Structure formats: C-alpha cells, structure tokens
C-alpha cells in the first residue's frame, strides 16, 4: 500500500500516520521530497484497511497494491480450474455449451427444445423456474413445478441442468433439482445469497452485474469461495452503457482479463448482452475466439409465444448452425466440447 | 402500443399481427404507406405484452405508450404522497434530514453521534447493522446487536431510526427494531426482498441501483406497492459512469423527473454519490434547491477509525454547518423540516 | 510518481528502472518488501513521462502524484479568477446569466428574444451562427450573416454576446463579432481549435465533452491557457450515461470538484443536459446552490418553429420566472449578478 | 413517423398537429382511443423534422421510423462496399491488417518497424505525424516531416500508408502524402473536418468517438459521403464506460450491428480499446471471428522508449504470432487478406 500525503504536510501528520502503521506491526518506508511525502507499506495489507487511512486529515490518496481477492486469484491457484458438471467439463480448454429457453413454460415445450439443442451439441440445459422480472405484473416463473420439469427433462436426455436461484430461502430447494446454480446479474451483489450458495457443494454460474467492474465480479466469486464452495464459473452478459442499439454492451475483453487475474472459468452470454438474435452468432464466435470457456444461449421453438425474453431467443435451427461454427472455431483454438451421453455431433 | 413492421412486409405478416391483436379483444388501427405499415393499438396494453410481439418475424419495433408502473404513477395518485415516520413527515414539502454513521459500531459511539446530528437538526437517525460489503473479509455489521443499539439510542433521543435490510429472512427481525426499512442500491432489484418488505406496514427507503434507470427505480417501488405497502420513499445515491473523480455520478435531474412521473417522495444521498466529504455540502444544497424531499448524510465522530466508509463521512460540526444552510434554503423553497421532540434549531 | 513492480521482480528489472530514473537526474526511493518492490520518485515529474515507464517489462503500475495541468490549477492561482466580458463579471461570486436561442434564425426573432431575456435578467446573449449538427441534412446555421445579426442585436441592447466557433479557420472571423467564444462539447478535444482560440485575447467558454472526465476538461482548458489566453470559463452540459430519460446526465458534482482543483469559473447548461424544458428550472436552481458561476439556458419565443433544439427551449416567460428564483438563491449564496446597461430587475 | 399525444389532448391540439402535417403535403393517419391519440405519418420524413414537432404543447413523444442516414445505409447500397487502398482491398471479405507505431518518431525506427510488420503480414502501414494529445505538454508529432518519412517508408516497402488528419487546414497537405486519411475518435464529430475530407478522393478511416452511438458513427460517415467521397471505412476502438481495468470498453457487437445497417466496411482497433498489450491478441481474434473487415494494431520495437502510447504497443514478434493466428481464423471465416508486393506469408 502506498500512502500519499497532501503537499506540505506537517511533521505531526506524518508522525500520526507512521504511528498508525507501526501499531499494526508493519514497517513504513518514508520517501520525503521537497513538497511531497509518500509512505510505502509492504506487508499484510489486510491488517491495514485502506478506507480508514483515507479518512486521516493530511492523507491525499491511498493506493492499494495487492488485489483484494485471494481464493479467486491466479496467484492462489496458478493452473486453470476445470469443473465437472455431471460429466461435462468447464474450464482449461473445455467449453460449456449452455442452451435452453429463458423460462420453463411446460414439460412438452421444454423437452422439445432440449432434444433439439442437445442434438445440436449443447451440453448443459438451462431454464428458469424463478424469474427476476423488472415488472411485478410479468410472469414470475413456475417455481418448484418448473424445477421438477427441468429435472425430469434433464434426466430423460442425460443433460446436466442449470437454473437461477434468487432467494437465500430457495437455495436448498433448488439444490435438490439442479446440477448448477445460476446467480443472475441483478443478484451479483446479493451477498446473503452468495453466502448461502457458498455453503452448498454445487457449481455456481455467476453473472456479471450490469454495473459491476471485473474486480467486483471477482469479489463476488470470492464471497462464494470463502464459504467453502470452490466451483465458481463466471459469466459475462453485457454491461450498461450509453449505447442503446443493443440491450447491453458485451465486454469481451473481460475474457483475457480474467484469464490473467484468476483461475476460474469464464463463459459468455450473447443473448442477454445483445438482446437481438441477429447479433448472437457473431458474438458467440467472438467469445470462443477470445478464449471463453463456453457460451450461454437462449433458444425457444416459438419466440413470439415465449413468456419471457422471446425477442432475444434463437430458433433451434439457428442454434444448430451456430454450434457447427463454434465447433470448428473451438478446434482451431485447441479447445474441446464435451457432448451428452448418446449424442454424436 | 405502436407496432412498426419492417419495410415491404407481406400481407401475410400484416394479417398475422392483426389476428394476434384481435384475438386479445383489442382493435388495431392500420396505417399503410408505400413502404411502411404501422399498427396502432389503443386499449389495455397489459393484455398485449410488448415482448412477444417483438419476436414476430416482420415486426421491426414495438413502441409502448403507457407507463409500465401504475401504483407509483402520478396519474394513479395526483397529489404528492406525504409519509409519517414516527412523527417526521417526508414528502409534499416536508424534508427528511437523515444522518448517522455508515455502520453501528457500538452504543456509546452511536449515542454521541446521534446527539450531535439531532441537535444539528437531523430528524431521522441512520446506522447499518447488516452491511453489504464488496469484500467478504470486511466488517459485515453487528447484526441483531446493532439493531438493539439503534433502537435504544433512537428511543432515548426521540429519533425515528432507519436501517438496511438485505435478506428476506431478516425482514421480520429488522421490522421489530426499525421505523423505516432501507433497501440498498445493490438490492434494488432483489425482487424477493422487495416482495417481503411489501408485506410489512413500515415505510421503505429504496435506493437507486448503480445502473438503474429512473424507470427501473419506479418499477422496483411498484413491486413493494403491489404487495400492499404504500409507503415508499425513493433515494438517489449516484450512478456508475466513466467519471472516476467521484465514487459515483449524482444524477440530480431524477428529482424533477420523478416529481413529474410519480407521487412518491424522493431524497438524495450525496455521501455515497460523491464519496468525498468536501463535495457533500454543495451537493446537499443542490438537492434541496432541485426540490428533493430530504437529504441523507453519513456522519462519524472519527472518520479515520470508522469500520466502514469512513472517508466519506462528515464530522458532526461540518454537518451542523450544512444543516444551517439547508434550513435557509428550505425556507426559500417553501419547504419545512420537522425536528425531533425536545430540539429547537 | 510511484512505480510499482510486478511481484518477485528480478534485480535486473529493478536496476533497469533505477537507471532510467537516475539518467534523468532524479533520485529514486526504493521500498523493498518480501514480494513487492515499490519505487518512489520525488521531483519534476515532467522529466519522467509516465507512459514509457509503464511499458518497461516488470513494471505493474505507475501512479502519478502531481496533477497534469498547471496553469488551470488552484495551486498556480489560489484566488478565484474573475473575468470581465464587456462589463459582465464571471467567477468569484459573480454569476453569468447566459440566454438566447440555440441558433440565430433571423434578426427580428433574435431581437425579440433578446429583449425578453435581457429584461428577465440575462446578462449575456447567446446564439449559434455555426451549428454542429449530427446530420449533414439539418440546418447548419446562418454563418457570417448570423454573426452580424448577433453583433447588431447585442449592440442595440448593450448585451455582450457569445457564439460557437467550430473550425480553426473561423476563429478570426468569429473574433470580429463575438465578445466570448464558445467551444462546443463535440470540439472539447479539437486541439487545433483550442490552440487557435488560445492565441486570441477573448474569453472562451468551453463545454465539457460528453465523455470527458473532469481532468480531461481541465486539460483542454490548459491547452488554451498554454497559448497565452488566460480567460477560460468551463461549462458542464451533461455526460453520456445509460440513463435515457434525459438527453444527458447533468454531473453537478463537477462544480465543487472544479472549485477545489482550479481557479477557473464554471457555469452550468441545464438545457443541453436534460433536453427537457420541464426539468430545466430545477437543475438551474441546483446549479446555483452548488456554487456554479452562472447558468446557460436556451430560450425561444416559439420552440415548435425553432430550426434547432426547439424541444429543449424555455419560453421567455418561463425564463423570467426562473431568473427571479435564481436571483433570490444567489442572494442567499452571497453571489451577485451583473445586469446589462439600462435594465433593472 | 409516429406522433403520440399526451393523455386527454384537446381537439384543438389534435387539429393543430394535423394542420402542421398537412401543410407539408403529407397525410396523417389518426388513431383515437379513449385516453390516447396517436398520429401516424407515412411519407417523406425529411419534410417533417422530428425536433420541432416535439416542441408542440400536447405532444408527448415523436417516434421516427426511418433511419437518419441514407448514403451509408444498406438499403441505399445492398452489397458490401469493397475499397481499394493502393492495391489492398478492404470490405466484402477482404481484411485490412493495419499496423505500425502510434507516432512517427524517425525514419530508421519507422523503417525497421515497417519491415517487420510487413513481413508478418500487415498490408497497410500506420503512423501519426499530427498527434491529438490530451496534454499540451506532450509530444505533438513531427508534422510534415513525419508525413514525408511515412511516404518514403511506404514507397520503399510497397505498403499503402494511413495517417491522422486533425485540422481542416491540413487536409490538402496530408492528402499529398497519405493513401488513406484517419479521423481520430476525438474528431469524429468535428463536422468541418469531415466536410473537408469529404471533398477529397482518398479513402477515410473514421474512428468511433468515445461516447458515440452506432448511429452517431454512421451519421458522421454520412457527412463525408454527402460531400461526394464514397470511400469510408469505420473503426471501433472502444467506448467510455465505468469499467476501469481497460482503457476503454471494446464494443464488438458493433461489427454485426453495422453489417446489418450499412454497406461500409468496419475494422477494429484493439490497441486503443484495451490499452493493455496482453489483451490485444484475444480481442483481435474476437474481431475477426465477429466478422470485422480488418484489425488495426500498434506495434513498436521498443515500447518503453515510445514517445506516445508505448504501453499499449505490441512488439514485432508478438504481432507476427498474432497475424499467424488471424490468417488461420480468416481462412475459417472464408475471408482473405491481401499482402504487399514482394511478401509471402
């Protein structure tokens, strides 16, 4: 940590800051110039919280040097983490191909869609039973009945299933049916929910919040990891910017950025990011070319009748064309895509 | 609602859209030009969800006309709402002066701060018992012990108290101690939490999320209102933008904007918005001049020892100078500020 | 400047950095910890450009300590600058009340508007002769004929006039007619234009770019100051954010922020910031309460017939009500507003 | 165009709007509901400017239907445009590989870099002679001497050259030396400059402004096209967002977005977008996979001694590895990359 004092700080201020540092058992290094004094502190930054020091009169700036996340960091775990979601590997060159409707609307419809995306090469089935809708008057999901449908369809087709959990009180329930939790963008900093999924031994797919920095996302992953659950997969789904021709702005640079900072896998969701089906294939290809560990795409057999997010869904045949492209791209990148039992693509 | 078809739409597409509209018992108005067809639908927009229509092939754009919120709207309740928080009025020309430390750290410290802010003219005491911290390793609040302290100090000084609730499981507990719930920015779209506080008869102060539009904030208020709790107070606390010299960008235009759209009171928190104590007084004055229904300011007797957000806290004497300015400004604006029992400012 | 090396940097890297610093005649201060090395450099930062140092392999971060602007800084000129625009003072407690139509459309219309805003208390007349329009097919302004009209109306009413200059080739021409240059938001980083107006002895009103940080704005002012023109007035007019219910997001915190960093006056333009006339009065009041050195408002006698930006213009009678409010507010703030010759408000 | 009136508009308001429309020789279509009136206008929207109509009292919203750009639109020119820059094709499946140093610093250095990037497969050489620097105290470029060097090196190596023009007064000079103009992000809405390059018959590479929407970029292209210069190439180089771990946020969705809206080629600059060399290769691959018509990368033989933007430059050997990857990717995408005379890669 580096503490920059205001110009022409009095010896009293300098002494006060040094005292605070030494009281914590740390050694300050003083650099005194004509107008400026800088204090370097090398050691366990945790002991010396950045915030309170900034509040000392005379301190202009406190520059932290160490990263605030540990378990999520590449330093802590130099190798890429690879997680196994019921036979499907994610991370370290293994791509997740997650597909399915936004919301679970009924068993027949989900089954029909699931067969098609599985045959196209999807290796994880998605579908929401609890839906975070902006309006209280919109369809809120089928709840536990939706979870049961998802489980049955997943089992029938040998596909692992992922579904969103929104409420700490639902964690136990969702864990009974799902192979992976999803934490939605709006709940990325719902810290009580993060703690609760951190206590279960089930992989967690956590989506970046619409105004979350890369560091914020890694800190939210750290919340889950710190509770003991070590299987966290990050997901980029677009951030809010001034650009209004897409629903959000997909920030693909997070992929190589996270690869440098962390060992955790990161996948990309071009459906929510763009909100426009005609842009999804190009963004899915870009994600794989950037080194993402998978792609999450919404697929619906009849988007105009979807109860949620229909306009951004691909048709099954569009998804099949996309996966064919992604497989060739993955091969070029040296990546592999696990397929579900009984499927050959 | 207006449905704009793509250029040169075939008669089949037009017929399909008309059929969907009529099946809902609504009457479409067709405007057909040389290249473009536009369909106006007047009636109950709720019946005709915008989303699925956008997914019909041939539809270029669906423009909703009605606002998606109802109970929060000025049309629903033309007069300004005025809420009474244990004797302190908020809204309709009555300003809330909310002050206190970020986190409750101990009874003596809170009491000392509370006396000072009350004597300066604060009429509601704030303090966090459950803290949403970005890092799992930071101080997370004193929990129920904090709530008890807050209650005792509030009672001793005849000040209503407001505190954050983060988890639907804590709503009942917090309701036992608080006079007003606070929903933090990170939980503005934690819909299960909104539903839970919507079931209790206690005013709710809901903060704008860092990437929430004005409409998003009103939709979140609508979630609470729709559950039966009609006492919702909005709070602007800054949004995330590229500007990095302040913690967030305070969007004061939300004040007159909300006044036009809604009957709900809106207050402003310049502490979290700027993160810099030297900017807080100017922004608090600007808020009152813009017509805000109150100001929320963090105050700490020793910011450098605060366990949370110290660097943005005002000292009690700074707060006292500020409230003196705000009272003069309120008078000029024709607004009034209730004071706590036993105080004369 | 502080140079943070990557963890476990080799002695070679450390030596290479030290050598670069010493070659510039500066003294480095080495702080070496177990894993980290930090080098503090006290002295003339100009000699040691930040950028190239960041490119040295082994350097993780370079943290500049000194501000990159000098002539614009409060350190360089501790007192508030006060500029005189043909008898109207701006800065140091003197407020500019700039008003007029977006574009000059004709002499009668401008005169009629100018009389009304002058009688309402405006002390500087604005009007565009060269208009930066997003579309090449929109009205581009009357050019020199517009300048002549502006000059005649200003002279007839004893009002100083301000108008936009967009092209370095027009600087001389505009200087013949105007009492103050305006640099528009889109040209804030048109550095050749800044250099050109920097060579003329006429005050410059420079608007913040839509994606400019506070520091960027001050650096652009520095460009003008560095050429010898010391009369620069800053103007906040909103930045681009995700919020789409206003044209831009007015960032009023820039006012106290700039007051700390710089001696230059800063005024606020709520017309372009909000794009909505019903929000302008509240934002103008907020600007004055925040300590702004003036307010810039667009006024048109018939907004629906305006050739540019009609929908955001106030009517003259709305402007008159606003100025009455602002005068009371200014008085409370201890500020003064010069009036044009022959006017009493 | 659709004109939505405020709820319960009086017959007078409706009549006034209809009159304005008919006076322009257009036919309005009235849709009148219980509370709302909507007026559709089919025909030549140009006649009926959107702006003034929004200013009519009683009008709530005006929704334009037609796109504001024409010459840049896909409707105007359904086929992909392919431009030839001295033998190198850009657009329609032909990729530009633009590389070179940020600034031209001397002939030997430029020659050395140019040989290396050419041999790696770059087909256009870049280098700045006029540099738009944020600080007036930074290196501003070699000016005409830089242009001469660029021309000589380009000629010696049979490489077309591109360089930035910042000032309308330099257009003629730059045209003497360059094979393609570059308009920088900060000048994207310097409309006088756009008009000037629009009068010359030389391709223009125009970079997206940091706060420009996709529509804004296309409108700026329209300015150039409207002057008669039909060879415009768009360039994405990142937008300003709250994310601060990269210099800007690369918005790759613009690539398929522009492909739908326009016939103009669009290339991507991952150097300025990320500002971090370790992220450039992944983003360059993503750009090609998204369908971009080329990649613009800064390369320097000794980044730590670069006079401008050193920290974001790739070393020549890093660039060579990248181009090898991009060629394989281009092949997979069915795209081709022209090479300079005498090179085989």
* B37 and B99 share one domain: no
The terminus-to-terminus CA distance of chain A in angstroms comes to 53
**Same domain membership, residue C215 and residue C297:** yes
DSSP conformation letters of C6-46: PTT--HHHHHHHHHHHHTTT-EEEEEE-SS-EEEEEES-GG
**Hey, which residues does B63 pair with through a beta bridge?**
B2
10 Å Cβ neighbour count for A321?
13
- Compute φ and ψ for B163, nearest 5 degrees: -150, 155
Average confidence (pLDDT) over B186-201: 97
Rounded alpha-carbon distances, angstroms, from residue C148 to C44, C111, C168: 49, 13, 19
Contact D245 A252 (CB under 8 A): no
Return all residues near B156 (Cβ < 8 A) that are at least 6 apart: B111
Q: How far apart are CA A260 and CA A264, in angstroms?
A: 10
Q: Both ends of chain D: CA-CA distance in Å?
A: 53
Are A58 and A189 in a shared domain? Answer: no
Of the partner residues C40, C61, C75, the one whose CB lies closest to the CB of residue A40: C40
Residues B127 and B168 in one domain: yes
What is the C-alpha to C-alpha distance for residues D283 and D298, in angstroms, rounded to an integer? 13
Select from C215, C279, C288 the Cβ nearest to the Cβ of B257. Answer: C279
Look at C252 and B252 and tell me if their CB atoms are within 8 Å: yes
Is B341 domain-assigned? Answer: no
Residues B24 and B156 in one domain: no
Closest CA to C127 of C106, C157, C97: C106
What angle do the packed helices A280-290 and D280-290 form, to 10 degrees?
150
Give A104's contacts (C-beta < 8 A, 6+ positions apart): A110, A127, A128, A129, A141, A142, A146, A149, A150, A163
Q: Residue C85 is encoded by which pair of tokens? A: 């625009």
Lowest mean pLDDT among A139-143, A288-292, B42-46, D160-164: B42-46
Contacts of A82 (CB under 8 A, 6+ apart): A89, A90, A91, A92, A94, A265
Domain boundary among D63, D98, D116: D63
Chains near C with 3+ CB pairs less than 8 A apart are A, B, D
Number of domain units in chain C:
2
Domain membership flag for residue D338: no
Q: Is residue B308 part of a domain?
A: yes
Among residues A99, B51, B273, which one has the least CA distance to residue C253?
Answer: B273
C55 with C113, same domain: the answer is no
Q: Are residues D6 and D44 in the same domain?
A: yes
Per the CB < 8 A criterion, the answer to whether A230 and A267 are in contact is no
Looking at the structure, tell me whether residues C56 and C179 fall in a common domain. no
Question: What value does the mean pLDDT take over residues B125-139?
Answer: 92
What confidence category does residue A82 fall into, taking pLDDT thresholds of 50, 70 and 90?
A: very high
Dihedral angle sign, alpha carbons of residues C97, C102, C107, C110: negative
- pLDDT per residue over D15-40, tens digit each? 888 888 887 777 787 877 666 788 87
Q: Look at residue C205 in the predicted model and tell me its pLDDT.
A: 98
Q: What is the pLDDT of residue B66?
A: 73
Chain A residues closer than 8 Å to D246 by CB: 253, 257
| Nearest C-alpha in A relative to D279 | A256
Q: Angle B107-120/B144-157 helices, nearest 10 degrees?
A: 40
pLDDT tens column, C223-235: 999 999 999 999 9
Contact C42 A36 (CB under 8 A): yes
What residues in A contact C38, CB-CB < 8 Å?
2, 29, 40, 42, 65
What CATH code is carried by the domain that includes residue B156? 3.20.20.70
Q: Indicate the SS3 state at residue D155.
A: helix
Residue C304 confidence (pLDDT):
79
Among A19-28, B271-280, D14-23, name the most confident range: B271-280
Q: Is the pLDDT assigned to residue A35 strictly greater than 70?
A: no
Q: What CATH number is attached to the domain comprising B23? A: 3.30.70.1140
Q: How is residue D22 written in tokens?
A: 């008919």
Per-residue pLDDT of B258-276, as tens digits, reads: 999 999 999 999 999 999 9
State how far the Cα of A71 lies from the Cα of D150, in Å rounded to an integer.
50
The interaxial angle of helices D144-157 and D107-120, nearest 10 deg, is 40
User: Is residue C28 situated within a structural domain?
Assistant: yes
Q: What is the pLDDT of residue A248?
A: 97
Residues in chain D with CB shorter than 8 Å from the CB of B242 are 240-242
In order, the DSSP letters of C214-231 are: HHHHHHHHHHHHHTT---
pLDDT of residue C142: 96
Which residues fall within 8 angstroms of residue D15, CB to CB, at 6 or more apart? none
Structure tokens at D212: 């420009």
Q: Are B205 and B182 in contact (CB under 8 A)?
A: yes
Q: Is A70 within the bounds of a domain? A: no
**Does the residue B164 lie in any domain?**
yes
Nearest-CB residue to A40 (from C38, C61, C241): C38
Residues D88 and D45 in one domain: no
pLDDT score at A1 = 76
CA distance A60 to chain C (A): 10
- Please check whether residue B210 is in contact with residue B170, taking contact to mean a CB–CB distance below 8 angstroms: no
Q: Decide if D141 is inside a domain.
A: yes
For C323, residues 6+ apart whose C-beta sits below 8 A from its C-beta are C97, C120, C121, C122, C345
Tell me the nearest-neighbour CA distance from B193 into chain A, angstroms: 8
Q: Which pLDDT score is estimated for C308?
A: 76
Is residue D297 predicted with pLDDT exceeding 90?
yes
Instruction: Compute, in degrees rounded to 10, the torsion defined by CA atoms C256, C257, C259, C261.
Output: 170
- Residue D85, H or E segment: strand D83-85
Residue-by-residue DSSP string for B310-325: GGGPBPHHHHHHHHHH
Which tokens belong to C211? 């994606």
pLDDT at position B305 over 60? yes
| Residue range B307-317: mean pLDDT, rounded | 86
Cβ-contact B31, D40 below 8 angstroms = yes
DSSP assignment of A228-281: T---EEEEE--B--S--SSSSB--TTHHHHHHHHBSS-EEE-HHHHH--GGGHH
- D294 Rama class: left (phi>0) / alpha (psi -120 to 50) / beta: left
Contacts of B294 (CB under 8 A, 6+ apart): B90, B95, B96, B97, B98, B233, B265, B267, B268
**Percent of the residues in chain A that have a pLDDT greater than 70, as a whole number:** 96
Looking at the fold, whether A275 and A182 belong to one and the same domain comes out as: yes
Judged by CB atoms closer than 8 Å, whether chains meet at B211 and A209 is answered as: yes
Q: Which residues in chain B have their CB less than 8 angstroms from residue D242's CB?
A: 240-242
For range C200-229, the mean pLDDT? 97
**In this predicted model, which residue has the larger pLDDT, D128 or B63?**
D128
Helix (H, G, I), strand (E, B) or coil at C181: strand
pLDDT band at residue C42 under the 50/70/90 scheme: low
Which three-class secondary structure state does DSSP give residue C92? coil
| C266 shares a domain with C159 | yes
By the 8 A CB rule, do D295 and D54 touch?
no
ipTM here: 0.93
What is the tens place of the pLDDT at every residue in B204-239?
999 999 999 999 999 999 999 999 999 999 999 999
- Burial category of A44 from C-beta neighbours within 10 Å (exposed 0-12, middle 13-18, buried 19 and up): exposed
H or E element in which residue C52 lies: helix C50-54
In angstroms, the separation between the Cα of residue C69 and the nearest Cα of chain A is 16
Q: What pLDDT band is residue D43 in, cutting at 50, 70 and 90? A: low
**Owning domain of residue A124:** 83-333
CA distance B186 to B248: 14
What pLDDT does C67 receive?
80
Of C55, C240, C311, the CB nearest to D303: C55
Using the beta-carbon criterion (under 8 Å), do C38 and A29 form an inter-chain contact? yes
Same domain for B110 and B53 = no
Q: D65 and B4: CB-CB below 8 Å?
A: yes
Chain A residue with the nearest C-alpha to that of D215: A245
Contact D249 A253 (CB under 8 A): yes
Per CB distance under 8 Å, which residues of C are interface residues toward B?
Answer: 211, 213-215, 239, 241-246, 249-253, 255-257, 260, 273-274, 276, 278-279, 281-283, 285-291, 328-329, 332
What contacts 24+ positions apart, CB below 8 Å, involve D14-19?
D14/D39, D14/D58, D16/D56, D16/D58, D17/D53, D17/D56, D17/D58, D17/D59
The answer to whether position C342 is within a domain reads no
How far from each other are the two terminal CA atoms of chain B, in whole angstroms?
Answer: 53
Report the DSSP beta bridge partners of residue D296: D98
Q: Which residues, including other chains, have CB under 8 Å from residue D73's CB and lie 6 or more apart?
A: D67, D218, D261, D262, D263
Q: What is the mean pLDDT of the segment spanning A128-138?
A: 91
Per-residue pLDDT at A43: 62
Strands (E), C184-318: 204-207, 232-236, 266-268, 294-298
D9 and D3 in contact (C-beta within 8 Å)?
A: no
């Amino acid at each position: 940590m580096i503490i920059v004092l205001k110009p022409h700080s009095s010896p009293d201020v300098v002494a006060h800051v040094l005292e605070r540092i030494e009281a914590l058992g740390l050694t300050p290094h003083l650099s005194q110039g004509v107008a400026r004094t800088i204090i370097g502190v090398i050691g366990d930054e945790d002991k010396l919280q950045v915030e309170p020091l900034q509040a000392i009169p005379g301190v202009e700036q406190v520059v932290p040097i160490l990263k605030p996340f540990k378990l999520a960091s590449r330093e802590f775990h130099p190798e890429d983490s690879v997680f196994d979601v019921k036979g499907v590997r994610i991370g370290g060159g293994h791509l997740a191909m997650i597909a399915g409707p936004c919301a679970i609307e009924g068993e027949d419809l989900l089954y029909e869609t699931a067969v098609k995306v599985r045959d196209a090469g999807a290796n994880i089935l998605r579908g929401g039973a609890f839906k975070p809708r902006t309006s209280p008057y919109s369809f809120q999901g089928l709840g536990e009945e939706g979870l049961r449908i998802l489980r049955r369809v997943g089992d029938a087709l040998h596909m692992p299933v992922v579904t969103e959990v929104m409420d700490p009180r639902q964690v136990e329930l969702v864990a009974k049916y799902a192979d992976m939790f999803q934490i939605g963008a709006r709940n990325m900093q719902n810290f009580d929910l993060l703690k609760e999924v951190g206590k279960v031994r089930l992989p967690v797919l956590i989506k970046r919040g619409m105004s979350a920095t890369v560091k914020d996302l890694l800190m939210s992953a750290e919340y889950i990891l710190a509770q003991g659950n070590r299987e966290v997969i990050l997901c980029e789904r677009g951030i809010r910017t001034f650009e209004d021709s897409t629903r959000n702005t997909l920030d693909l640079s997070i992929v190589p950025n996270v690869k440098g900072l962390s060992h955790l896998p990161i996948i990309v969701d071009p459906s929510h990011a763009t909100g426009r089906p005609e842009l999804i294939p190009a963004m899915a290809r870009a994600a794989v070319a950037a080194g993402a560990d998978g792609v999450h795409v919404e697929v619906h057999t009849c988007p105009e009748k979807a109860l949620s997010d229909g306009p951004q869904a691909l048709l099954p045949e569009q998804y099949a064309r996309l996966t064919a492209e992604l497989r060739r791209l993955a091969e070029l990148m040296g990546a592999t895509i696990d397929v579900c039992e009984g499927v050959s693509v």
